[in-house]
């Protein structure tokens, strides 16, 4: 069945707000990367919804899922509709994956206000999956008030989330050996909020102090970035975090920062898309006796041809 046929089967129910249709729409964009943008355009013709997107990143064992669960349950209790995307890694050898974040979100998984979708990275290396932009758009079109993304959590290379989400939180745990790794990594600079989770652990305070010293956020009066001490499992400090996320977003809206971020996102998305298509073309072309320059022109020509048929 073509994607159009599949789309037509479910689109009515999608706009009626039926969960099964949402679930199938996500599968559709995930499995049809070449036509996903057309699906998104069609969806956007029918609805003009937008929603803040919040990303949670951080190493495995930091407690991202538990924190997402605590944060989302707070919003769900206020009757906000929340869509959660939890990304787990695919095996590079078999492409199989365990999608296990949902189990750590049992407090919200039964809420009528929450939809959780587990997604496999399917070979993407940035901590998310190639279809992430499309999935977020599908969720926005469905009408969620907020979209939450949890990254794979493999660490330093996970910068893709900065482009996908409006606000990015880096979750750390004092006991997971994050310290050395994280303080060095580039990921420290990209976050908007820093969450020290498991604050009830004995070594948590020392960790927090060190983090605050390293970031020295206080020195930059203009910065709205902040460090939070929470215990997701004991629900300590999550309320403050929730409040700040909303404030940070409205600050970005009034300062115009959000538009900068939207633009950055669009550029990245186009870039990712082009790179994927280019990649396919390059790997399917024989170099033969072409010079470097000839080969390059050949690729560009091929690309233009393909783009033309696609339109």
Partner 1 sequence: MEKRIRVVVGKPGLDGHDRGSKVVARALRDAGMEVIYTGIRQTPEEIVNTVLQEDADILGLSILSGAHMKLCQKIIKLMKEKEINVPIFLGGIIPADDIPELKKMGVNEVFGPGTSFEDIIKRVKEIVLGTAV
Partner 2 sequence: MDQENKINELVEKKALWYEKTFKKTVSRFPERKKEFKTSYGKVVDPVYTPADVKDIDYAKDIGFPGEYPYTRGVQPTMYRGRFWTMRQYAGFASAEESNKRYRYLLEQGQTGLSVAFDLPTQIGYDSDDEMSEGEVGKVGVAIDSLKDMEILFDSIPLDKVSVSMTINSTSAILLSMLMAVGEKQGVRHDQLRGTIQNDILKEYIARGTYVFPPDPSMRVIVDIFEYGSKNLPKFNLISISGYHIREAGANAVQEVAFTIADGIAYVEAAIKAGLDPNVFGTNLSFFFNAHNNFIEEISKFRAARKIWAKVMKERFHVTNEEALKLKFHTQTAGSTLTAQQPMNNIIRVTMQALSAVLGGTQSLHTNSFDEALGLPTQESATIALRTQQIIAYESGVTDTVDPFAGSYLIEHLTKDIEEKAMEYIKKIDDMGGMVRAVETGYVQKEILNSAYEAQLRIEKKEDVIVGMNEFTTEKGSKPTPILKVDTSVEEKQKSKIKELKEIRDNNLVSEKLSSLKLAAASKENIMPFIYEAVKAYATLGEITNVLREVFGEFRESVIL
- Can you give the binding site for partner 2, defined by CB under 8 A? 61, 66, 98, 100, 103-104, 106
What three-state secondary structure class fits 298?
helix
For 65, 108, 155, the CA distances from 76, given in Å and listed in that order, are: 16, 8, 29
Tokens 């996500």: give the residue: 26
As measured in angstroms, the least distance from the Cβ of 161 to partner 2 is 22
> Which tokens sit at 266?
């669009």
Interaction partner, residue 61 (partner 2, partner 1, none; CB < 5-8 Å by kind): partner 2
Does residue 178 contact residue 205 with C-beta atoms inside 8 Å? no
Query: What tokens appear for 200 in the block?
Result: 């009830």
Q: Which stretch binds partner 1 (CB under 8 A): 68-76, 88-96, 191-199, 289-297?
A: 88-96
Structure tokens at 142: 């469905």
> In this chain, which of 7, 26, 62, 265 binds partner 1, going by CB under 8 A?
26
Q: Which residue has the tokens 């009626």?
A: 16
Q: Which does 16 bind (CB under 5 to 8 A by kind): partner 1, partner 2, none?
A: none
Question: DSSP secondary-structure letter at 231?
Answer: B
In the complex with partner 1, the residue whose CB is nearer, 254 or 283, is 283
User: Among residues 64 and 140, whose Cβ is nearest to partner 2?
Assistant: 64
* Interaction of residue 20 with partner 1, rule CB under 8 A: yes
What distance in Å separates the CA atoms of residue 41 and residue 311, rounded to the nearest whole number?
Answer: 13
Q: Among 22-30, 48-56, 142-150, 248-256, which window interacts with partner 1 (CB under 8 A)?
A: 22-30
CB of 292 to partner 2, least distance (A): 47
Least distance from partner 1 to the Cβ atom of residue 112, Å: 10
- Select from 8, 31, 157, 203 the one that contacts partner 1 (CB under 8 A): 31
Residue 257: which residues within 8 A CB-CB, separation 6 or more? 251
Residues 31 and 21: their CA atoms lie apart, in Å, by 15
Residue whose C-alpha is closest to residue 63's, from 176, 227, 156: 176
The span of 39-47, 64-72, 117-125, 287-295 binding partner 1 (CB under 8 A) equals: 117-125
Residues that bind partner 1 (CB under 8 A): 1, 6, 19-20, 23-24, 26-27, 31-33, 90-91, 94-100, 102-103, 106, 109-110, 115-118, 120, 122
């Amino acid at each position: 069945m073509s994607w159009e046929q599949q789309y037509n089967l479910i689109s009515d129910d999608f706009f009626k707000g039926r969960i099964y249709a949402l679930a199938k729409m996500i599968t559709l964009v995930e499995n049809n990367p070449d036509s996903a943008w057309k699906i998104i355009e069609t969806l956007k013709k029918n609805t003009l919804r937008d929603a803040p997107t919040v990303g949670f990143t951080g190493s495995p064992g930091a407690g991202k899922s538990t924190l997402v669960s605590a944060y989302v349950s707070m919003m769900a209790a206020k009757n906000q509709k929340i869509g959660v995307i939890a990304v787990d890694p695919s095996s590079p050898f078999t492409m199989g994956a365990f999608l296990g974040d949902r189990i750590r979100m049992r407090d919200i998984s039964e809420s009528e206000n929450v939809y959780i979708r587990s997604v496999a990275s399917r070979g993407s290396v940035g901590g998310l999956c190639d279809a992430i932009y499309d999935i977020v758009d599908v969720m926005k079109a469905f009408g969620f008030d907020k979209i939450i993304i949890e990254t794979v959590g493999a660490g330093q290379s996970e910068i893709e989330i900065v482009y996908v989400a409006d606000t990015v939180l880096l979750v750390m745990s004092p006991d997971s050996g994050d310290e050395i790794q994280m303080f060095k990594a580039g990921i420290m600079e990209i976050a908007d909020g820093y969450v020290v989770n498991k604050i009830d652990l004995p070594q948590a305070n020392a960790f927090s102090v060190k983090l605050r010293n390293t970031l020295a956020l206080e020195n930059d009066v203009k910065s709205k970035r902040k460090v939070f001490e929470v215990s997701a499992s004991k629900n300590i400090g999550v309320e403050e975090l929730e409040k700040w996320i909303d404030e940070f977003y409205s600050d970005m809206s009034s300062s115009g920062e959000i538009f900068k971020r939207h633009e950055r996102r669009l550029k990245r998305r186009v870039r990712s898309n082009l790179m994927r298509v280019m990649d396919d073309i390059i790997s399917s072309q024989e170099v033969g006796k072409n010079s470097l320059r000839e080969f390059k022109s050949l690729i560009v020509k091929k690309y233009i041809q393909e783009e033309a048929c696609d339109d």
